[in-house]
Structure 1
Amino acid sequence: MRLTILALSLALSACSLTPDPARPGLPVPDTYPSPATIADGGPAADLDWRVMFGDPRLQRLIELALRNNRDLRLAALNVEAVQAQYNIQRAARLPAVNATGGVTRQRIAADPQADPATAGRVQTQHNLDIGISAFEIDLFGRVRSLSDAAFARYLASEEGRRTVEIALVGTVADAYFAERLAQEQLDLARRTLDDWRQSLDLARRLKAADQNSGLDVAQAEGQVATAEADLEERARTLARATNALTLLVGTDLPGDLPPPWPLDERAVRTRLPAGLPSDLLTRRPDIRQAELNLVAANADIGAARAAFFPRLSLTTSLGYASPILGNLFNGEQRGWSFTPQITQPLFMGGQLRAELRLAEIRRSEAIADYERVIQTAFREVADGLAGSATYGRQIDAQNRTVASAERRLALSTLRYRAGLEGRLELLDAQRQLYAARQTRLDLKRDEIGNAISLYKALGGGGASAAD
């Protein structure tokens, strides 16, 4: 009979006071303002980052970062911590069975009215019990709501880890291409300095032959000095970019890395399928994380509501007690206890209402955060699509600018050597070509950065894409 009552009590899982979960509507338009990029393949979130980034050197650096980066390691440890918290909360839904054994020795004080034979004697009591202590029968779903909230937060922490992983992949790629840009700008500055030094040497030889004035030499010397200063700045930028990349990777850069690809080669896919804003709900881990936090906040309301109702707890034990250890397990030494207890809050100074109000406010905060994350994601994708639609045409125009500057410099060089125009026109042509080439490198880097940002905004770069 007692076992039947215990089984029925444990099986009770009555009404739940948790509100029905309701996902807020999308606080963004149904389509993006810029036309979606047309590209082959499935969603960008399913695109392997090894396919997205074709440069073998970058692939190796991302692999090192995923193993060594401290931010990602902290995110993984946070997942394990939240999982442990969920396991603790889930254990509260099951009865805790404890076995207790002990020996008690005591001396009975002398009592004139007691039996003189027992006064002053030392008594020994052996006991062994197995029982359940203060197990709450979850009549109104309070414990289950707390467990559901803990489970949702565990899932949210896992999505948070994937968010950190996606951000790490994109940030390493950004830092890598920043280093590549700095290296190519440094190489361009070196080539330009060599060309301008040759031009200075020509000016000096013409001055020695009385074919120009000292003003031409001074202008050429000033131009070379400017190029030397720019070269030092480019070298400093490269060193800082390398330091930033090393920090992200989490270890010193190995010496056996594959050779890098030039920025001119298609080291990154710049055309990605965007889909619809509704796709972000299932593709972006930060949105899923915000939604799971909303589920957890909703479950907290159920637990706060259930706190107003009675709590039924159960304590029971079965065991043996005997003054002689050898007789401990005799049938006549067996004992049991069954102690159900019900508790109804009557007056707590408004604490329960305040806790319910706090849970409702936190759900409202979770809703606002969920909508904010969606709006941010929409804006990031829209910005990426706008860049994809314009960078290609801008780079084509800049290529024409570079070609025009190269033709002008060639003609100015011929006219200067023929004495048809002064040194000032040649200097201006050289500077214009150098600036046009630097601008082209900047635009190419911006196009790659835009593609990386769009890839992250669409939910690409996580472990699911890598495995």
Structure 2
Amino acid sequence: MRVISSTSNRNSWRLLPLASLLLLAGCSTLAPDYQRPDAPVPQQWPEGKAYAANSGDAKAAAELPWQDFIRDQRLQTLIQLALDNNRDLRQTLEDVQAARASYLVQRGGEMPTVNAGLSASRSKVQAGTTSNSAQATVGMSAYEIDLFGKNRSLTEAERQSWLASEETARAARITLIGEITSAWLTLAADRNLLTLAEQTAENARQAMEITRKRLEMGVDSRVDLSSAETTWYSAKADIASYTTQVAQDRNALWLLVGQNFDDSLLPTELPASTGLLADIPAGLQSDVLLQRPDVLAAEHSLQSANASIGAAKAERFPSLSLTATGGLASSAMADIFTGGASTIWTLAPSLSMPIFDGGSSKAQVAYSEAEYRKAVAAWEGTVQSAFAEVADALARRGTIQQQLDAETSVVSAAQRSYDLSLARYQNGIDSFNDALDSQRTLYSSQQGLINTRLEDLDNRVTLYRVLGGGLAEPNTTADSEPAAAVNGAAGG
């Protein structure tokens, strides 16, 4: 018994190196400790004549559900249809599923693959003599023990790529909400412009008829009639153009929505801004940009590149593979299942160490580090683009109301001028050219006001989008979703 005990102890000591290697497999990776780079943008939004004073919660846009931001039920219905049916968004969501599957494939590679086998053979040894053998085995083949975290680094890189695709999908959702809203508003504005062109054409037709009668009476000249016809034909051309534009606007909406919808969901005219969209404060701090989905996607890509450095470094160190099988063997298949078989096993560890590879492993590390620096620049560029988008939207927000007020006054003045000029013309005081000039000025100013009203509404939508709005669900906050994504990643 003492001899057996001594032998057992010696075998235990021999297994210590293998046990130590297995413990090393649980150590941290060789990837650098990740630290988010400093955002290369000012902490405060720009200030100056173009910018209104900002106030309010910096996270107001991100925490405001789009159903609360957009108050028109027809537009809400179209947006929901688009979120359910838009084909580009579907492709993006499938990219997320593909990235998740790729991560699970890589994570599964960290675990040994265990296979079971059952085999039997019968062979002739010599004349009149046959040999039978049967085996039932369970084992793993060439399982790489992750001594230096190469596989764990690769898994982390895949996980971060998956999370980046999730954030990309969230960004696509925000973009789609904005595109549907802008397309809906553009259709409304073009319908307003079409109505205005029709009204102008009718007024021009009436003026043309009056001029024709005055020509017959010898009061007006053919020059006056030709001028009246010019205005009428110009308005008719605008009617044709806006009719086409309205049809194309509807086609654009149909493509974005991804299915047929009832025309009752379409606007008949451009609505008032206060009744359609909520106003969004930008807040004072620009760090709200770091929670935008596109910025988060860039950061996850950066973290993936960081993990890839660890995998590249691990390639320069020894690797240990293990093949092991165990089972039962007998000369008869039946003995395997009745307890008459003998035990068989094999254990074959394999250690390999790179000695000379022409510098390829070192170059791979340099490549991974360069890709990381590239990802840093991409993240910084994304943050800067986000800052510029918000700054541009704020600059328009700060001046658009002044422009609206001025153009509204212009339209009122032009309307009064046209009414007076037309009355003076009808009473024979002024020539038709004065009335015609006033009509053209009124028409142009009305078109400009419609376009500026559209720009005002579009600016509100843009500001909501670039501040990260559109993800929060009713009665929830946007902060819960990234956490859910990370928890889902951890749980597989």
- Shared fold per TM-score greater than 0.5: yes
Query: Which range is displaced more, 32-41 or 394-403?
Result: 32-41
Which residue number in structure 2 is paired with residue 346 of structure 1?
355
Q: What one-letter code is carried by the residue in structure 1 that aligns with 2:318?
A: P
Q: 1:184 deviation in Å?
A: 0.9
Which residue number in structure 2 is paired with residue 166 of structure 1?
174
Matched residues in 1 for 2:271 and 2:393: separation? 19
Q: 1:239 deviation in Å?
A: 1.5
Runs of 4+ deviating beyond 4 Å: 1-11, 39-42, 119-122, 258-261, 463-467
Select 2:36's aligned residue among 23, 29, 46: 23
> Is 1:66 the counterpart of 2:75 in the alignment?
no
Q: Which structure 2 residues correspond to residues 289-308 of structure 1 after superposition, within 5 A? A: 289-308=297-316
Matched residues in 2 for 1:302 and 1:360: separation? 10
Q: What one-letter code is carried by the residue in structure 2 that aligns with 1:74?
A: Q
Matched residues in 1 for 2:77 and 2:58: separation? 24
CA 1:451/1:259 → structure 2, altered by over 3 Å: closer, same or farther? Answer: closer
SS in 2 for 1:26: coil
> Is 1:425 the counterpart of 2:442 in the alignment?
no
Which residue number in structure 2 is paired with residue 49 of structure 1?
66
Which residue number in structure 2 is paired with residue 88 of structure 1?
105
Query: Are the counterparts in 2 of residues 127 and 320 from structure 1 also a CA contact under 8 Å?
Result: yes
Which residue number in structure 2 is paired with residue 416 of structure 1?
425
Q: Deviations over 1:262-298 (max 9, x none)?
A: 333532234433441111112x001011111111111
Q: 1:349 deviation in Å?
A: 2.1
CA 1:331/1:394 → structure 2, altered by over 3 Å: closer, same or farther? Answer: same
Q: 1:17 deviation in Å?
A: 1.0
SS in 2 for 1:404: helix
Matched residues in 1 for 2:252 and 2:245: separation? 11
Query: Are the counterparts in 2 of residues 294 and 363 from structure 1 also a CA contact under 8 Å?
Result: yes
Q: What one-letter code is carried by the residue in structure 2 that aligns with 1:31?
A: Q
> Is 1:207 the counterpart of 2:224 in the alignment?
no
Q: Deviations over 1:204-250 (max 9, x none)?
A: 23333333233322221221111111111111111222111111111
Q: Which structure 2 residues correspond to residues 217-228 of structure 1 after superposition, within 5 A? A: 217-228=225-236
Which residue number in structure 2 is paired with residue 383 of structure 1?
392
Backbone CA RMSD of aligned residues: 2.3
Q: What one-letter code is carried by the residue in structure 2 that aligns with 1:92?
A: G
Query: Are the counterparts in 1 of residues 335 and 341 from structure 2 also a CA contact under 8 Å?
Result: no
> Is 1:179 the counterpart of 2:196 in the alignment?
no
Q: What one-letter code is carried by the residue in structure 2 that aligns with 1:16?
A: T
Q: Which structure 2 residues correspond to residues 25-424 of structure 1 after superposition, within 5 A? A: 25-34=38-47, 35=51, 37-38=54-55, 42-108=59-125, 118-119=126-127, 121-257=129-265, 262-266=270-274, 267-282=276-291, 284-329=292-337, 330=339, 332-424=341-433
Query: Which range is displaced more, 97-106 or 375-384?
Result: 97-106
Which residue number in structure 1 is paired with residue 453 of structure 2?
444
Matched residues in 2 for 1:241 and 1:90: separation? 47
Which residue number in structure 2 is paired with residue 114 of structure 1?
none
Total equivalences in the alignment: 457
SS in 2 for 1:124: strand
Q: What one-letter code is carried by the residue in structure 1 that aligns with 2:98?
A: A
Matched residues in 2 for 1:259 and 1:179: separation? 7
Q: Which runs of 5+ in 2 are unaligned?
A: 1-7, 477-492
Matched residues in 2 for 1:10 and 1:464: separation? 46
Query: Are the counterparts in 1 of residues 22 and 147 from structure 2 also a CA contact under 8 Å?
Result: no
- TM-score, normalization by structure 2: 0.87
Q: What one-letter code is carried by the residue in structure 2 that aligns with 1:134?
A: A
Q: What one-letter code is carried by the residue in structure 1 that aligns with 2:417?
A: R
Q: What one-letter code is carried by the residue in structure 2 that aligns with 1:386?
A: A
Q: What one-letter code is carried by the residue in structure 2 that aligns with 1:305?
A: K
